[in-house]
Amino acid sequence: MIQSRSFVRYFLWCPTIKAQELRFKGWELAEGREAAFTHAVSAAGVVYAISRSCREGELQSCGCSRARRPKDLNRDWIWGGCGDNIEYGYRFAKAFVDVREKEKNHPRHSRSLARMLMNLHNNEAGRIAVYNYAKVACKCHGVSGSCSLKTCWQQLPTFREVGDRLKDRYDGATETKFNNRGTKLKRKNRRFNKPNKEDLIYLDDSPDYCTANPETGSLGTVGRECNRSSQGMDGCTLMCCGRGYNTFKRKLVERCHCKFYWCCYVRCKTCERVLDVQTCK
């Protein structure tokens, strides 16, 4: 199966970035797809964490969701459970995350203004990836689980769903540039669709994540384990970026042939096996 170029780049980039670089340094330097994804998923994380904390009573400034009853909800069902306060989470994230962009980038400098506009757009895309996809969760009531009555409330999508949605946006991110007036960003190639609020945008092409680069925080793929028999993303062909791989033997010691004895303990034997391991050159 042939993967998109953006997916290959994402797979190489994501595990190789140092955590501290991603949190502090990478945001400032990167202006490619990876910066777009980083800002979006971070903003989404703030919405998610605050919304859930409101529901669980961990914050004094908010409580359960006050979202209106959905029009299509069965009229016999009760709308009143303690839902995730996505409305408050969205407002908090917008104020908390966006103010950093407006403070750190000087609007008189065209490059800083472009970066600020890019980051603000991607922050909003991340928040929308949570806000627009809230679900209705319900709990049954009734004798012996008959579910004759339901209580329903607003619930966050799983963060895995949010991440998958943003990953799709990463694949289809739009390269942008300033308009003639230098006041806003527009798509660089008019053959592609105009990005909407849910799409990610970026300014520059991504760097090469195959090799180590201290400026971007990339550790490269040298020394990473790969699977020589796989044609997928974990295969040595893609992972090693055409440099080839080394093979060595690794002895694995593990528990085996475990047996339960009444009562109450488990006794195991120790087994050894030798594995062929490949690492990128």
Domain ranges of the chain: 1-219, 221-280
Query: Parallel, antiparallel, or unpaired for β 78-79 and 135-141?
Result: unpaired
Q: Would you state the pLDDT for residue 56?
A: 92
C-alpha–C-alpha distance, residues 55 and 83, integer Å? 6
Q: Would you state the pLDDT for residue 148?
A: 76
CATH code assigned to 221-280: 3.30.2460.20
Q: How would you class 165 by CB atoms within 10 Å of its CB: exposed for 0-12, middle for 13-18, buried for 19 or more?
A: buried
Q: Would you state the pLDDT for residue 84?
A: 94
Q: How would you class 247 by CB atoms within 10 Å of its CB: exposed for 0-12, middle for 13-18, buried for 19 or more?
A: exposed
Residues in CB range of 110: below 8 A, 6 or more apart: 178, 182
**Can you give the pTM of this predicted structure?**
0.73
Q: Which of 81, 69, 31 is nearest to 188 (CA)?
A: 31
C-alpha–C-alpha distance, residues 71 and 79, integer Å? 11
Along the 281 residues of the chain, how does pLDDT read in single tens digits? 334 445 445 555 555 444 444 443 444 445 688 889 999 999 999 999 999 999 999 999 999 998 889 888 888 888 988 899 999 999 999 999 888 877 766 556 677 788 888 999 999 999 999 999 999 999 887 776 677 788 999 999 999 999 999 999 998 899 998 887 777 888 888 888 889 999 999 988 877 778 887 776 678 888 899 998 888 778 898 888 888 999 999 999 999 999 988 878 889 999 999 989 999 98
Contact 15, 221 (CB under 8 A): no
Q: Would you state the pLDDT for residue 187?
A: 87
